[in-house]
Amino acid sequence: QVQLVESGGGVVQPGMSLRLSCAASGFTFSSYGIHWVRQAAGKGLEWVALISFDGSKESYADSVKGRFTVSRDNSKNTVYLQINSLGVEDTAVYYCAKKPGVGYFDLWGRGTLVTVSP
């Protein structure tokens, strides 16, 4: 089955860290860039980060640069998002999404909820 499954979310205090995972199956994972997109409750979609198919390129939104790090392990078909120095503004559902080489996302995971609360 072609899918992406996120995990690792939870409730944390400000300043703490989390590592989110995005596990892929059903397609040639090592051929595709993977992006992270987040959505605060009742809000729109906000792009967060990307990692290229081979891990050689990373990019981050200005709002998370220096605090978030994306990585991947193609042997495990998994992308990771390390989130440090969490703030309440990072509270959101985090989705990973597959980009088939061109300008749209053809597969999304169901998301994992990160709640930052004092």
Instruction: Point out which residues bind another protein (CB under 8 A).
Output: 35, 37, 44-47, 50, 59, 61, 95, 97, 102-106, 108-111
Instruction: Work out how close the CB of 23 gets to another protein at its nearest, in angstroms, rounded to a whole number.
Output: 14
Helices (H), the chain: none
SS3 content of the chain, % helix, strand, coil (to 5): 5, 50, 45
Instruction: Work out how close the CB of 15 gets to another protein at its nearest, in angstroms, rounded to a whole number.
Output: 27
Closer residue to another protein, CB minimum distance, 53 or 108: 108
Burial class (CB in 10 A: 0-12, 13-18, 19+), 41: exposed
Contact call for residues 85 and 111 (beta carbons, < 8 A):
no
Antiparallel, parallel or unpaired: β 107-108 and 58-60: unpaired
Instruction: Work out how close the CB of 58 gets to another protein at its nearest, in angstroms, rounded to a whole number.
Output: 11
Q: Give the dihedral of Cα atoms 85, 17, 31, 59; nearest 10 deg.
A: 0
Instruction: Work out how close the CB of 16 gets to another protein at its nearest, in angstroms, rounded to a whole number.
Output: 26
Closer residue to another protein, CB minimum distance, 14 or 51: 51
